Amino acid sequence: MAPVAPVRRIRSGTVLCTITADYVRVRPMVAAPELHPRTPRVPRRCANLAGMDRTARTAGVDVGGTKVAVGLLDGTTLTPQGLEPTEVHDPEALLAQITRLVGALGPVEAVGIGVPSVVRISDGRVVSSANIDAFRDVALRDELASRLGVPVHVDNDANLAALSEAWGEDLELLHSSLVCVTVGTGIGGGAVVGGRPLHGARTSAFELGHLTVGADLTHGAPPAGDAPLPGSLEHWASGRALDRLARERGFDGGPALTDAAEAGDDRAVDALRILGERLGVGIAAVITLLEPEVVVVGGGVSRAGELLVGPAREAARRLLLPGLGTDTEIRVAQHGPQAGLRGAALLARLEESPTDA
């Protein structure tokens, strides 16, 4: 297939940021004056966020364990364009599938891709993936950039869902710091700080579902095992956990229980309360570490709305230290199933937008 012809290449670059440490002149026997707050750690790139290009054409790709979705962000309008079952077992087949779907969009300036995987940020390599056998140690960024002929940017799908929630419909920055907790079959997590995805030293990190929240530590750490571990947030608060709660109460599964809860069934409402409070334990840990402006709950299970998020909010508040997270909003995510796709297209836009010198 012929490479996708770029419309134009938007200048990218990195801004030199300078941090000056505060200091105190100490006098003998005199109390030191109160320190001014230190300058916060600078995000990965110090972009002029208000200067993001609002006229470019960028593609977004959301690769899931069952479906690949592709969309076009033309100016400020996102249009979903393609949805197909994921080629989960064959790396070459999956790369060809993504190339074909993006190529069908016509000329684009850059491509953003979200994957349910651990991503090495420096080179866009997918290190491991729990749900996609084809994505194990794959140089995704370089392979697709070579085939498409335009810049490609790769990140974890939950990071991109968080990115979508942080930016408004007119591509204005709504929240400088935001955490997205995605509750589906498993649990994912992503964070935005300074308007951009928050990463670890090497990888996409923020694997919130694998945070240990319920282990017995009487005799030390629990043994190793396959994920999700029995003490993990994913074990206790995911869609699979809701399925277990549902079967214990005589429902066919989580979706049926959610329907019953919305109709007022007390057993179903109580099951969502239990799941929500478990989720709140993880949210409290996130707020304790980061204290973001907003925590949003997305993913398929979040369709339960306040029946899930209300108990999560109340549990998180109970577990936080007094004064911590008092201004953090905890709510249902707004972009629904399009969040990952929109976030992927936004990633391409952000990474290829000009920055201030």
The answer to whether residue 132 sits within a structural domain is: yes
Task: Give dist(CA 13, CA 10) in Å, integer.
Answer: 10
- Examine the domain organization and report whether 323 and 276 are in the same domain: yes
Query: Do 108 and 181 fall within a single domain?
Result: no
Beta bridge partners of 332: 297
Task: List the Cα angle 89/91/92 in 5-degree steps.
Answer: 120
* 317 is a domain residue: yes
Tokens of 208: 């919130």
The candidate with the shortest Cα–Cα distance to 111, out of 160, 158, 65, is 160
Domain range for 129 is: 50-167+338-352
305 domain residue, yes or no: yes
Task: Label residue 4 by pLDDT band (50, 70, 90).
Answer: low
Residue 26 predicted with pLDDT over 50? no
Give me the CATH number covering residue 124: 3.30.420.40
Does 125 lie in the same domain as 201? no
pLDDT-derived band of residue 19, with 50, 70 and 90 as boundaries? very low
Q: How far apart are CA 161 and CA 114, in angstroms?
A: 9
Residue 344 lies in a domain: yes
Which positions ≥6 away from 86 have C-beta within 8 Å?
63, 64, 65, 66, 67, 68, 94, 97, 132
Order of strands, sheet of 329-332, starting from the edge strand that comes earlier in the sequence: 196-197, 187-193, 177-183, 294-298, 329-332
Same domain for 346 and 318, yes or no, is: no
Does one domain contain both 277 and 151? no
Distance, CA of 268 to CA of 296 (rounded, Å): 23
Burial per residue of 321-342, b for 16 or more beta-carbon CB atoms within 10 angstroms, e otherwise: eeeebeebebebbebebbbbbb
Which one has a higher pLDDT value, 133 or 328?
328
Q: Is position 23 within any domain? A: no
Nearest to 213 by CA among 253, 181, 245, 254: 181
Based on the domain organization, do 294 and 343 belong to the same domain? no
7 pLDDT more than 80: no
- Which residues have C-beta within 8 Å of that of residue 302, sequence separation ≥ 6? 183, 308, 309, 332, 333
pLDDT tens digits, 33-86 = 333 343 343 333 334 455 567 889 999 999 988 899 999 999 999 999 999 999
Is residue 303 situated within a structural domain?
A: yes
pLDDT at 236 over 90: yes
CA atoms within 13 A on the CB side of 120: 14
Give pLDDT tens digits for 90-114.
999 999 999 999 999 999 999 999 9
Q: pTM above the 0.85 mark?
A: no
342 and 321, same structural domain? no
**One domain for residues 201 and 127:** no
Q: What is the DSSP code (8-state) at residue 353?
A: S
Cα–Cα distance, 44 to 351 (Å, whole number): 11
Hey, which bits of 171-214 come out as E strands?
177-183, 187-193, 196-197
The tokens describing 301, both together, are 């299970």
Are 200 and 70 within one domain? no
Total domains, the chain: 2
CA distance linking residue 298 with residue 260, whole number of Å: 20
In a shared domain, residues 161 and 87: yes
Are 147 and 245 in the same domain?
no
Tell me if 12 is assigned to some domain: no
pLDDT score for 94: 94
Question: Which H/E stretch holds residue 83?
Answer: strand 77-85
- Residue 25 domain-assigned (yes or no): no
- Looking at this protein, which amino acid is placed at residue 43? P
How far apart are alpha carbons 67 and 65 in whole angstroms? Answer: 6
Tell me the pLDDT band of 211, cut-offs 50, 70 and 90. Answer: very high
Q: Is 182 in the same domain as 274?
A: yes
